[in-house]
Amino acid sequence: MNFLAFRSAEAGVSELARELGLNKSTCFNVLDSLVRGELLVKDSRRAAYRLGPRLVELGTASRRNFSRRALYRRALQPLVDEAGIACLISQLLADFSGVVVVDRVLPAQRRSDLVVAPIGQRYSIAAPAMGRSVLSHLDEGEALEILRGESGGHLAGKESAIIARLRDIRRAGFATSHEEFEPEVNAVATCVLGRSGEVSAVLCLIGATRDLPADRLADWGHRLTGLARELERMASHGHSLQEAL
């Protein structure tokens, strides 16, 4: 399913078996089970597989089960309206390979040229703002190991600089991106931590350089981080959603 989601919209059993290193018959049996579960669909004309409709239902349920969604929206909306840009709410993937957008808060006064990402958009753990924010909260050795995996092991001579940058981010509380991910787009991200210090969610303000200029990134970063700490305090004191609102 990851292959069909991120590498090829559709593929046949031979291609999937080859790319994933599976025995062809084993691959076919797995595909057959996924088709019966409606997680994949098979185009009988081309003998090709693609993602199925059941995933939409499961994705909707996962998003709905993000229990503090309404609380996050309530906390972030005033900041988003003031800034006039979008805020992405993402969660860390279980394998630490990246984050996926589970919700987003948009300004009340929306423009057609608003920079935003769709629900379900996946970003690599090496993404400039969100990825660095997450990595800054991990053990330094673990963060380096994850980045080695993402880069194919090509970190030689860069480890010290990476660690220094992650420490700076941890001290500041947020990470920034100045046209690093996409031209004329800036971003600032921070993490909401759980009671054990795990990353519960990633908040990211994203906008065009004219709306989120480089000289304002730190200002917005401090304010976004302040909201993240407030959300953590609400959770640590056991407020129910109704009480918090």
Looking at the structure, tell me whether residues 14 and 74 fall in a common domain.
no
Judge if 91 and 196 occupy the same domain.
yes
The answer on 201 and 87 residing in a single domain is yes
pLDDT at 54: 80
First to last CA, the chain: 38
Model pLDDT, residue 2: 83
Which of left, alpha, beta for 153 (phi over 0: left; psi -120 to 50: alpha)?
left
197: left (phi over 0), alpha (psi -120 to 50) or beta: left
Do 90 and 119 belong to one domain? yes
Q: Which pTM was predicted?
A: 0.73
121 and 33 in a single domain? The answer is no
Residue 237 has what pLDDT?
67
Among 28, 57, 86, the domain boundary falls at: 57
For residues 171 and 50, membership in a common domain is answered with no
Q: Is residue 45 located within the same domain as residue 76?
A: no
User: Do 90 and 101 contact (CB within 8 A), yes or no?
Assistant: yes
pLDDT value at position 44?
Answer: 76
- 145 with 87, same domain: the answer is yes
| Number of domains present in the structure of the chain | 2
What's the confidence (pLDDT) of residue 62? Answer: 65
Both 34 and 105 in one domain: the answer is: no
Pick from 174, 172, 202, 204: which is nearest to 187 by CA?
204
| Local confidence pLDDT in tens for the 245 residues of the chain | 888 887 888 999 999 999 988 999 999 999 999 998 888 999 878 889 999 888 877 776 666 555 577 889 899 999 999 999 999 999 988 888 889 898 999 999 878 889 999 888 889 998 999 999 999 999 999 998 888 887 776 777 788 999 999 999 999 999 999 999 899 999 999 999 988 889 999 999 999 999 999 999 999 999 999 999 999 998 776 544 334 33
pLDDT confidence of residue 67 = 57
Spatial separation of the C-alpha atoms in residues 80 and 82, rounded to whole Å: 5
| Best CA proximity match to 137, nearest among 177, 69, 189 | 189
Domain CATH code at residue 118: 3.30.450.40
Q: Are residues 84 and 189 in the same domain?
A: yes
Show the tokens assigned to 55: 């995933």
Q: Among 57, 78, 94, where does a domain finish?
A: 57
Query: Could you tell me the residue range of the domain that residue 219 belongs to?
Result: 66-244
**Any residues with CB less than 8 A from the CB of 221 and at least 6 apart, and which?**
172, 173, 174, 175, 176, 188, 190
Q: Which of 35, 57, 79 is the last residue of a domain?
A: 57
pLDDT at 90: 93
* Distance from C-alpha of 200 to C-alpha of 196, rounded to nearest angstrom: 10
> 195 and 144, same structural domain?
yes
Distance CA 102, CA 192 (A): 14
**Residue 90 and residue 32 in one domain:** no
Query: Which pLDDT belongs to residue 191?
Result: 97
Domain of 50: which CATH number?
1.10.10.10
State residue 241's pLDDT score: 36
